[in-house]
Structure formats: structure tokens, C-alpha cells
Chain A
């Protein structure tokens, strides 16, 4: 894997991590409204996928969308402003944390109903195929989403029509507090996909290079006329499901086990080992991103609130 790619993926994962750490502290200080579903720990999934995509490839996201949007290139300023509920936000302050995205970057403003994005992703992929666009669609979903009816209908339709679509299932083991293994009647989550005639794969979702390579291969298969595919990324969220969750349902030993796999520490070790970056330059990158985030916060704070006048304007096109 070339140096440039590794550096780019490192910077993006770190940006997501620091963005969310900043967000969490602002949130605890009461500076931003609403709720937060943080992505800490899962950064390798978003970055490993999106690093393969261009602005005309589309992603669909979930209630935990910050990482996906940043990985797809949505600007930090517009993301931060959205979280501050400001007019300059990527959704004009009308979306909030659970709906971030920017269609100009191929990031469909996120859909926060679990599984609701799945048939929509199928529709986007169908439309790409009908229009003979050579782009792919990646639909992020959590492990919990595979038990939604929308998953069944959306995946089956993608399968019968052979669409250019990759379902990226980030299996972080829990739907809120519920372990996925207790909620499926098959041994492995990917066993489900046999029933749809959709080829499925599993990958270490804590290793960005592995996620990247897997998606790269799947996109090649799609370009040769195959698809759709389903990829399970085995991952873990280092934080609670949402703002009020203190993870009382998880064993500390489990958390420690997964934190040892931290995808950012992992890539930083790799970069050091391969002598691409030394500690000094890693620190420099941290500082650069922190500076950028502070600029984003300043931008967000100084931006105007959305106008009441526009409430009616955005109901109908």
C-alpha cells in the first residue's frame, strides 16, 4: 500500500476521532444542542470504504454518520456548523447530528431510521444502472439493521437486479445495549446473505488497510458487472450508543480487548515502523487537525441561526 494512501487514511481517521472528541466536549459544556451518536473506534470502516470512492459515488449513512460524512469529504466547517444548528451547516441547520451529509460530495444526508437507508440505497444504485453511470453506491448500516424488514426488501431487490451496490455492515456487536448474536437465528451475521443470493465477506474493521483493500476488490468486481455485495466490518464503538449511555451492559475486559485494536494507534504504529512518519510528525498532524477544528468551531459559532422564513420553503420543492 503506497505511502500517500496510508497518510491520507491516517489523517482522515484522526480527523474523525478528534472531531468527535471536540464535539463531545462542546456537548458536555452545553454548547451544542441535541444528541450525539459517536463513532469512536469505528473510523477504519468509514475511511477504508470512502477512500475508494469519488464525489460521484454515493454513500448512504445512519444515525451515527459523522465519520462517514467526514471520510466522504464533507467539510469540517459545514459539519461543525450543522452540529451547532447554524445556517451555514451542511444541512442549513435543518438536519442536525443524525442527518449530516452533502450531496455534492456524494454523501446523502444521513437517514436516522435504522434500516431506512437500505431500500433507498437500492434505488440510487438502480438509478445509476439505468442512467449507465459508472459509479458505485455504498450503504452503511449497523448490525442491528439486518433485523429490519427494510433490509430484507432492499437487499433482495438489489440482488435480483444485480446492482452496483455494496452494503457495508459495521458490526460493533451491539444495537444500543443488545448483543446482535442474541437477536439472529444464524451463527454468523453474514449467513443471512446466502438467503438473498448476495455474496458476503467479513473483514477486520479495526484495520483500515484491510477494509480499503476489500472494498477496492469489490469495486473491481462491480466494474466487471458483478454485484451487489455485502461486507461485514468487525468493529467496536469505544463509547456509549448515545449521549446518556454509560455502557453498563459491556464487560470492561471486552472494552480493553477492543481498545487494544484502536485503528488509529494501529496505523500510527505502522507508519512509524515503515518509517513514513516519526513521532514528531505524527504530533504535528494532530496539531494541524486540532487547529482546523478550532477554526471550524469559530466558523460555526459566528454563523447565523437558520431563518424561520425558510421552514416553509424547504417543505416542498
Chain B
């Protein structure tokens, strides 16, 4: 099956990402992986199995295990990217990106600009996020932080098909890309299986394809309200839309796929038709992505809005540990239903 590159295969997001890395490393010897616990025999293959087995094919020089040094991982990836390589760096939990903030924000994002366009930093930083009863330091959704950093691109795949197309684009992009993956969407297996996983399985082409950044996807067509969500929130929005359909409210669900660049055109066209917008997001509310999109919409197409834009996000607290509290923290379909109903 693996050799038949014209066909498709059903797989999880973790499998799709692994296939992508494998194919890109086969295609381009400049591509390599760097991170903690990614290639150790008997290890996890990255925190969520994405690089499992790759060191057997590519060796430990190209699936390069590091000390627990996130600043080092990011810095080394930048240095390698500046000098001709295309590193795929990995932090086990996106929360650890904060350890590497100088490298990501002051270095990766700015080197091209500060050099007057003479340098490029073609690196991918993969970062698993999302709340999964691991407490406040292993559960955050950090996409909004990086939205605020000119120079970084931010991808958020929610399906196995998109995971491959977006990661392929990210690896081939000459700018640094933060690639956020949601722990409950991976479909990791064995002892890395996550309780409460959504684990979408989808047909993924074995052949080479890319999904361009800045092209959103309509996950469900509808005419009364637009619901925008990324990563896990795409599924929250879809679930809510089923309940709402039963009440004769037709929902259009949009998945941005990348938030930098963001496909405002597709969103505006949808909101112009529906006149209502609800943004669902696992990032905390204040200063977040949902607020940014809300501002963007009212600045540009205010006259089409029948009702104010609504944000259904995590509250302004750290991610709590207790499952009961975490459930409250994560935007749920019922919260979306409640807010949508208020618009009618």
C-alpha cells in the first residue's frame, strides 16, 4: 500500500503527519527533525507518536534527539535553517514554547526583516496543544500568542487530510511556521492514546500535495449563522450545528486551517450571507484570536452584521486540572448552542 502513491489511505492525524515527514525527508535531504524523545528506540516517537519509527529509516542524524533544551532546539533549528537546512523542530507540549520565546519571537520572526530581506528561516516548529487533564502547564492553547508576532506563520490542522497538506506546505515554506496540533485530534495509539480523543480518521492521499496557507475551508454549509473554530473547536462547532439544525437554525462552520495568514475573504463572504458570527476557541478570551477576528469583521463588514459578533472561548483563567473544571474551561457544544440561540 505504502508504495502505491496514487492511492489514498484511511489514517489518523498522527499517522498523516508521520507520513508527511517521511515523504518530505525522502524527497529533500535538507529536511530533518529535531526535538526531545523523537527517535529513541523504545521511546514514544515524540510525545504523541508522530515521529515513531522514523529514526529506523533515516538514522539518528536526521531524527535528532536533543537534551531538554527548548531554547536550544529553537535556536539550533534557526541556525540550521539560515544555513541551508529545513528543520522540523518539536516541543513535546506547546506550553514549552514559552521556554524558547526569545528564539522564536526575537530571532526566528525577525531575522529576515532585520537583515533587509536577505536572510530566510525555513523552519517548522511543531507544538501539541489543548486541554487534556494535565493541569495548567501541559494543556494550553497558545495560537493567539503567536498571532501577535509578525514574521511567524501559524497553522492549525483539524483533519488528517489537512495535516498532510499543511505540513507539506509548512516544510517547503521559506518563513518560520508554528504548527499547532491538538492532542485530542492526533489519534495516537497504544499507551499514548488520549482519553476523550476525537481522533478524526480521514482519507489521505499517499501522493504529494500541498494545501496553501491562508485558504479556509467550509466544513458545513449553512445560511443563518457562521461559526468559526479551529483545531478541536471545529468539532465543537459541528456538534453544536447538529443541535441547532434540529431547531431550524442552519449553521455554516468554517475552519481557517491557518490563522496567519488568515482567509478573511472566505469568512467575510460567509458572514455577509448569514449576518451572524460566533467564534469558538480554546484560547483564553482576552487578547485572543477570537477578539481579533471580531474586530476584523466589524471593521470591514459591519453593515452586514445583524447581531454583534460573539466569542465562545475559554475563560480568562489558567487551564484547571480537575476534569469538572476543565470541562467548564473548554468551550463545549452546549455553550455554542446557547450563544447562537441568543442571536435569534
Contacts and interface: CB of A to CB of B under 8 A. Distances in A.
Contact of B103 (A91, A116, A310, A317): A116
B67 interface: yes
B117 A314 contact: yes
A119 B118 contact: no
A125 B121 CA distance: 15
Contact of A119 (B72, B106, B117): B72
Nearest to B111: A109
B338 to A, nearest CB: 39
A121 interface: yes
A48 interface: no
B71 A124 contact: no
Contacts of A102: 118
A121 B79 contact: yes
A113 B106 contact: yes
A130 B62 CA distance: 9
A92 interface: yes
Contact of A109 (B32, B118, B153): B118
B82 A124 contact: yes
B151 A315 contact: yes
Nearest to A98: B114
B343 interface: no
Interface residues of B, number: 43
- Chain A, interface residues (CB within 8 Å), range: 35 or more
A120 B104 CA distance: 11
Interface in A285-317: 306, 310, 313-317
Interface stretch (A28-36, A153-161, A172-180): A153-161
Contacts, number: 146
A108 interface: yes
Contacts of A131: 83-85
A120 B71 CA distance: 10
Contacts of B173: 317
A150 B117 contact: no
Contacts of B122: 317
A41 interface: no
A94 interface: yes
Interface in A112-163: 113, 116, 118-128, 130-131, 149-150, 152-154, 156-157, 160
A131 B150 CA distance: 30
B77 interface: yes
Nearest to B109: A315
B74 A99 contact: no
A157 B72 contact: yes
B145 to A, nearest CB: 17
B264 interface: no
B77 A123 contact: yes
Nearest to A128: B83
B49 interface: no
B120 to A, nearest CB: 4
Given A153-B72, A154-B72, A313 B117 contact: yes
B116 A124 contact: no
B76 interface: yes
Contacts of B115: 91-92, 94-95, 99, 101, 103, 109
B79 A95 contact: no
A89 interface: yes
A154 B107 CA distance: 14
Contacts of A111: 107
Contact of A126 (B79, B107, B114, B175): B79
B234 to A, nearest CB: 25
Nearest to A89: B116
A93 interface: yes
Contacts of A58: 83
Interface in B248-300: none
B183 to A, nearest CB: 26
B209 interface: no
Interface of A: 58, 89-95, 99, 101-103, 108-109, 111, 113, 116, 118-128, 130-131, 149-150, 152-154, 156-157, 160, 306, 310, 313-317
8 contacts: A92-B115, A102-B118, A108-B119, A123-B78, A123-B87, A127-B79, A130-B32, A316-B175
Given A126-B76, A127-B79, 16 more contacts: A94-B113, A94-B114, A94-B115, A95-B114, A109-B118, A116-B107, A120-B79, A127-B82, A128-B83, A156-B67, A157-B69, A157-B76, A314-B112, A314-B113, A314-B116, A317-B120
